[in-house]
Amino acid sequence: MNSLLVYLTISIVLFVLGLLAMMTRKNAVSVLMGIELILNSAGLNFVAFSRFSTGNLNGQTAAVFVIIVAAAEAAVALAIFLNLYRLKATAEVDQADELRG
Amino acid sequence: MELLRHIIFWLFAVLTVGSAVVVVFHPRVIYSAFALLFTFFGVAGLYVFLSADFLAAAQILIYVGGILTLIIFGVFLTAKITTLDIPHQTHQRYVALVPIVMIAAGLFTVVKNTVWPTAPLPHHPTTQVIGELLLTKYLVPFELASILLLAALIGAMRLARYYRKRED
Amino acid sequence: MTEPALYILLAPLAAFAVMIFFGKKLPRGGDWVSLFAIWSGLAVSLYLLAQVLFAYDPDFCETRSIEWLVWGDFRLAAGMLIDNMTVVMLVVVTLVSAVVHLYSVGYMRGDPRYTLFFAYLSFFSFSMLGLVLAENLILIYAFWELVGLSSYLLIGFWYEKDSAANAGKKAFITNRVGDAGMLIGILLVLSSLGTVSLHGIADGVAAGKLGGGLLTAVGICLFMGAVGKSAQFPLHVWLPDAMEGPTPVSALIHAATMVAAGVYLVARLFVILSFDASVVIAYVGGFTALFAATIAVAQNDIKRVLAYSTLSQLGYMVMALGAGAYTAGFFHLVTHAMFKACLFLGSGSVIHAMHHALQHTGSHADAQDLRNMGGLRRKMPLTFWTFLISTLALCGVPLMSGFLSKDSILAGTLAFASEHPAHWLLPVFGFAAAALTAFYMFRLVYLAFSGTFRMGADAERHLHESPSVMIVPLVILSTLCFFGFYTLPAFNPTTPEGGWFAHLLPTPARAYGVAHYAADLSHETVVPGEAFEQVAPHAEHSAHGSHAIHTIAMMISIFVAGLGILIASMGYYWNRISPALWQRRLGFVYRGMYRKWWIDEIYDVTVVWGTLGFTRVLTWFDLRVIDGLVDGSAWLTRQWSRLSGWFDLRGVDGFVNFTAWFVGIWGRFVRLFQGGQLQRYILYTLAGVGLVLILSVLQ
């Protein structure tokens, strides 16, 4: 509304919350939600800079691509979760630890 | 009028952040998913305040209509459904706070101390301009995005079908 | 000129794509797709060469690039740089590649992966052409890795053989060592100049933005890449093993083109090499030239002799560039590509015939062993004559192309040494290697082609000349071994001076010299005479010195080549000297040459055993931690003494002990982090990111 700083702060909060979800949630779908939060924060950043800093619409166009990528990523991620669920009978990411050293 | 705008803006900001907090901390998956819905709405509202009308619409259409639906499907398909009380546990919650706090503090300091260039965008409808940009300057990324979506579509189908065939 | 060049580059890539996807369905396995791509590429390259020749402009240069990556102030362009050197390289690469394609039609006939072979050949041609055309270091690095990849694929083409698969891996891993250095060099250039384009670097160095020790470091780091790819001394071990690949591949990749990429890179960076870096380069090259020649003397496998000969000749080129004889070094690259490719293809023809004959008699003798051959001249006259011509060229016999190029290299090193008498060793390396080259090549020719066939009359009856698809390439390449093609219009058989080659590719002025002069003038600092003398550009001096010294060099080089040929003839033709007797007399030296100076064994003991030793130490620490520290200090001391005893045996001091111990602890520690849990990894990553962020903010 009034300044870039406010939007950037909201975006940081979303980003950090998304990271937190990615790190702490055991359910794969919840991790995905965290990723969506991060993508939203990135989109918000793009749009905010487009509005206040660059004076053109390149940022908004980039945000369109962010949404596209998010859609593609969600579809593939859910397909992977389905496989994980069938393989392990659970969707908890900490069960998938075949690569333990 | 200005006051009203302020109030609405802050409502959207609080809605976004508040529901994001619910997404991350609520013990039931379904609640998280629905809180995510409100986060998306909040971000769409913020887009409106940033005079990004096209993006606000796209946000609601794609995120709420597409991605969120997918996520809820995902929740249902990857849990043995008896009630809607599907829990999702957390781990390493307190350790995770250390990098989170560091990153948040770092990012905030950077954002606050940097002098950003200012070149405000005039208010007028953006849809047409974005459309032109997508078909001129960003044509190649745009076409690549189509291919990406197609690949994701086919890939997701392939991934999801494989085990079903084996189970049958 | 960029559109034709783009066609040359992309035609093999298109052929590769077609071959990979549809090759097996096409008639004749699709070999004509690859052949068409490369032969048309050759035609276009010749057209470009004709244009360059008509323009006859030493400063001709054309670049064209598209913006590829923009990141803040850093702009990376993907583009090509076409100058005389590029055009000459294009012709060399497409020509050798084209004749090798043709030859492979005969050589690979009946192979189960015939189609794949041609696909790989096309892919290699694409990568090599890309490397030649690339305009900046990062692009060069990308194509550099691609040629490495295709080399790996082609060395291990017959991967059913363990030795071939291992040789491929060895080549890849050995190259990794050099490429790491090259990457560091590129990053150094990028961080200090902010650009990676070849012209940008030269300009930056000329403007004095990069100089002193850092410039030397950059030169040596980038040269490390060349050491790996051109198989110079410490990293040469992969090239002889690479002979496990099909012989056309040896001719194309491991003799004519890819291994010359290192030399090409050094030539490209010639202008920015500091004096110290050039001296290092010259010594590495000179040592490799002599060292590899001594090994080649004692080898019995026909391809291995040629492989060590390649090493030696590459050493020559590198030495020439290091000593400032730019034109001579690059000239030798071109002539060497022709005659060495011809030699390899000729040896392939011999092996082909031998294999065929031995198969008929049911013998399991080695088809590549010189001791099993003999008298092939009568059975394979065309192979013999082409082989002889290219041998003469390699030995530096007058009227041949090799004489011109080798002679100017020797003259260049002699001039360099006369200017800097402290480096008298360089011409000694050069002339000694020249004598040895003449000796081992004629030994090879006599053993294979003269006398009588050593595997019995039965097998001899089945010996026959190779099919004409294999002979035509030999004839083409051996024709190009004569001096005339390189010295027009002067047509002087003694020196390349006055010919188009020397005119179009003159030795460029060194950028660093200009910068130092400028800096000296502007700052008015007192320059000690010695330091000033060191930074003075010596390339021009060498070029002038060459004229005076040329005659001397020519005399000595004819003399040493004649001496080598004479001794080889005495030993293997007239039988006046007994090779077996001399092998005994030379004793240790002969065994060293035969065993390739034990370099592979040394690497086994140091690198391979060292790595295994580290693993053993790591395992041991695992056990100790699991068993607990209960057993006390006596046990600990005993293990410690065993550990240090183990290390003492290797002659490594206490510092290495500490390193091993530290690595052990560290491995144990790091293992904790490899939980296989993605979210743990995210946590660690973010902790690192956060730390970096905080640190950079606090700064």
Residue range C306-334: mean pLDDT, rounded: 89
What distance in Å separates the CA atoms of residue C622 and residue C445, rounded to the nearest whole number?
58
How big is the CA angle at C422 (ends C434 and C228), to the nearest 5 degrees? 55
Residue range C102-123: mean pLDDT, rounded: 89
Say yes or no to pLDDT of C577 above 70: yes
C: neighbours with 3+ CB pairs under 8 Å?
A: A, B
Of A10, A68, A71, the CB nearest to B13: A10
Percent of chain B residues past pLDDT 70, beyond the cut: 90
Residue range C476-501: mean pLDDT, rounded: 81
* Residue C245: C-alpha distances to residues A32, B134, C539 (Å): 48, 50, 39
Residue range C298-319: mean pLDDT, rounded: 89
Residue C360: Cβ within 10 Å count: 13
Instruction: Identify the pLDDT of residue C324.
Output: 84
What chain C residue is nearest to A16 in terms of C-alpha separation?
Answer: C686
* Cα within 13 Å of Cα(C627), Cβ side: 12
Please give the radius of gyration of chain C, using alpha carbons only, rounded to the nearest integer.
Answer: 27
Please report the residues numbered 2 through 61 in chain A whose beta carbons come closer than 8 angstroms to any beta carbon of chain C.
Answer: 19, 22-24, 31
Of A54, A55, A60, the CB nearest to B130: A60
What distance in Å separates the CA atoms of residue C592 and residue C599, rounded to the nearest whole number?
10
Interfacial residues of C (vs A; Cβ cutoff 8 Å)? 670-671, 673-679, 682-683, 686
Are the Cβ atoms of C686 and A23 closer than 8 angstroms? yes
Q: Which is nearest to C133 in space by CA: C120, C121, C146?
A: C146
Three-state secondary structure call for residue C81: strand
Residue C247: Cβ within 10 Å count: 27
In a domain, B15, yes or no: yes
Q: How far is B36 from chain C (nearest CA, A)?
A: 21
Q: How far is B6 from chain C (nearest CA, A)?
A: 32
DSSP B33: H
What distance in Å separates the CA atoms of residue C401 and residue C494, rounded to the nearest whole number?
10
Give C216-260 pLDDT, tens digit per residue.
888 899 999 889 888 888 888 888 888 888 888 888 888 888 888
Tokens of C578: 């007994």
Residue range C35-64: mean pLDDT, rounded: 88
Of C679, C690, C693, the CB nearest to B92: C679
Domain that includes residue B50, residue range: 1-81
Helix segments in C65-161, DSSP class H: 84-107, 114-133, 137-155
DSSP C50: H
Are the Cβ atoms of B70 and A6 closer than 8 angstroms? no
Q: Which is nearest to C158 in space by CA: C193, C108, C203, C192?
A: C108
Residue type, B63: Y
Are the Cβ atoms of B121 and A75 closer than 8 angstroms? no
Per-residue three-class SS string for C181-218: HHHHHHHHHHHHHCCCEHHHHHHHHHCCCCCHHHHHHH
What distance in Å separates the CA atoms of residue A3 and residue A7, rounded to the nearest whole number?
7
Contact C40, C11 (CB under 8 A): yes
Residue C585: Cβ within 10 Å count: 10
Of A28, A34, A47, the CB nearest to B50: A47
Contact B106, A19 (CB under 8 A): no
Q: For residue A78, with 0-12 CB atoms within 10 Å meaning exposed, 13-18 middle and 19 or more buried, which class applies?
A: buried
Say yes or no to pLDDT of B167 above 60: no
Say yes or no to pLDDT of B162 above 90: no
Say yes or no to pLDDT of C537 above 50: no
What distance in Å separates the CA atoms of residue C385 and residue C380, rounded to the nearest whole number?
9
Percent of chain C residues past pLDDT 70, beyond the cut: 90
Of B73, B126, B159, the CB nearest to A57: B126
How big is the CA angle at C456 (ends C455 and C458), to the nearest 5 degrees? 115
Say yes or no to pLDDT of C265 above 60: yes
Say yes or no to pLDDT of C652 above 60: no
Instruction: Identify the pLDDT of residue C404.
Output: 86
Instruction: Identify the pLDDT of residue C532.
Output: 36
Q: How far is B107 from chain C (nearest CA, A)?
A: 8
- Kindly provide the b/e burial profile for residues C587-600, where b requires at least 16 CB atoms within 10 angstroms of the residue's own CB: eeebeebeebbeee
| Total-model pTM | 0.66
Q: What is the fold, at CATH topology level, of the domain defined by A4-90?
A: Helix Hairpins (1.10.287)
* Residue B48: C-alpha distances to residues B12, B60, B143, C564 (Å): 10, 12, 27, 86
* Residue C198: C-alpha distances to residues C136, C178, C273, C389 (Å): 5, 20, 13, 38
Within 8 A of C687 by CB-CB distance, chain B residues are: 98-99, 102
Residue A93: Cβ within 10 Å count: 22
In a domain, B32, yes or no: yes
What distance in Å separates the CA atoms of residue C244 and residue C169, rounded to the nearest whole number?
12
Q: Which is nearest to A49 in space by CA: A41, A38, A39, A60?
A: A60
Are the Cβ atoms of B6 and A1 closer than 8 angstroms? yes
Of C671, C674, C679, the CB nearest to A94: C679
Say yes or no to pLDDT of C535 above 50: no
Residue range C371-394: mean pLDDT, rounded: 87
Residue range C12-24: mean pLDDT, rounded: 88
What distance in Å separates the CA atoms of residue C505 and residue C58, rounded to the nearest whole number?
6
Are the Cβ atoms of A5 and B152 closer than 8 angstroms? no
Q: Which is nearest to C233 in space by CA: C314, C342, C350, C127?
A: C314
pLDDT bin (cut points 50, 70, 90) of residue C631 is low
Strands of chain B, DSSP E: none
Q: Which is nearest to C225 in space by CA: C270, C264, C272, C169?
A: C264
Question: DSSP for B43-63?
Answer: HHHHHHHTT-HHHHHHIIIII
Are the Cβ atoms of A55 and B52 closer than 8 angstroms? no
Q: Which is nearest to C470 in space by CA: C382, C369, C360?
A: C382
**Tally: H helices and E strands in chain A:** 3, 0
pLDDT bin (cut points 50, 70, 90) of residue C528 is very low
Residue C503: Cβ within 10 Å count: 18
Contact C82, C61 (CB under 8 A): yes
Per-residue three-class SS string for C352-404: HHHHHHHHHHCCCCCCCEHHHCCCHHHHCHHHHHHHHHHHHHHHCCCCEHHHH
B116-130, C117-131, C271-285, C314-328: lowest mean pLDDT where? B116-130
φ, ψ of residue C523 in degrees (nearest 5):
-90, -15
What distance in Å separates the CA atoms of residue C235 and residue C58, rounded to the nearest whole number?
35
Mutation target vs B (from C681, C693, C695; most B CBs, 10 A cutoff): C693
What distance in Å separates the CA atoms of residue C335 and residue C256, rounded to the nearest whole number?
9
φ, ψ of residue C61 in degrees (nearest 5):
-160, 135
What chain C residue is nearest to A94 in terms of C-alpha separation?
Answer: C677
Say yes or no to pLDDT of C517 above 50: no
Residues 6+ away with beta carbon under 8 Å from C105:
C31, C35, C469
Please give the radius of gyration of chain B, using alpha carbons only, rounded to the nearest integer.
Answer: 20
Size of interface B-C (CB pairs under 8 A): 36
Give B87-99 pLDDT, tens digit per residue.
667 777 788 888 8
Three-state secondary structure call for residue C454: coil
**How far out from the chain centre does Cα C690 lie?**
44
Given the structure tokens 């606000």, which residue do they identify?
A: B56
A3-17, C429-443, C454-468: lowest mean pLDDT where? C454-468
Instruction: Identify the pLDDT of residue C524.
Output: 39
Say yes or no to pLDDT of A15 above 90: yes
Give A47-81 pLDDT, tens digit per residue.
999 888 887 888 899 999 999 999 899 889 888 88
What chain C residue is nearest to B99 in terms of C-alpha separation?
Answer: C687
Instruction: Identify the pLDDT of residue A45.
Output: 92
Instruction: Identify the pLDDT of residue C650.
Output: 64
Are the Cβ atoms of B102 and C694 closer than 8 angstroms? yes
The interface predicted TM-score of the complex, written ipTM, equals 0.88
Give me the CATH number covering residue B63.
1.20.120.1200
Q: Which is nearest to C694 in space by CA: B123, B99, A15?
A: B99
Within 8 A of C693 by CB-CB distance, chain B residues are: 102-103, 106-107, 110
Please give the radius of gyration of chain A, using alpha carbons only, rounded to the nearest integer.
Answer: 17
Given the structure tokens 């007028």, which residue do they identify?
A: B124
pLDDT bin (cut points 50, 70, 90) of residue A13 is very high
B25-34, B115-124, C70-79, C639-648: lowest mean pLDDT where? C639-648
Give C152-180 pLDDT, tens digit per residue.
999 888 888 888 888 888 888 888 888 98
Contact C231, C311 (CB under 8 A): yes
In a domain, B145, yes or no: no
Residue type, C145: E
Instruction: Identify the pLDDT of residue A42.
Output: 94
Instruction: Identify the pLDDT of residue C538.
Output: 46
Residue range B18-43: mean pLDDT, rounded: 90
Are the Cβ atoms of A98 and C677 closer than 8 angstroms? no
Residue type, C399: L
A: neighbours with 3+ CB pairs under 8 Å?
A: B, C
Instruction: Identify the pLDDT of residue B168.
Output: 46
What chain C residue is nearest to A99 in terms of C-alpha separation?
Answer: C676
pLDDT bin (cut points 50, 70, 90) of residue A1 is very low
Residue range C65-74: mean pLDDT, rounded: 77
Within 8 A of A54 by CB-CB distance, chain B residues are: 117, 119, 121
Are the Cβ atoms of C687 and B102 closer than 8 angstroms? yes
Number of domains within chain B: 1
How big is the CA angle at C476 (ends C471 and C477), to the nearest 5 degrees? 100
Say yes or no to pLDDT of B54 above 80: yes
Instruction: Identify the pLDDT of residue C530.
Output: 36
Say yes or no to pLDDT of C644 above 80: no
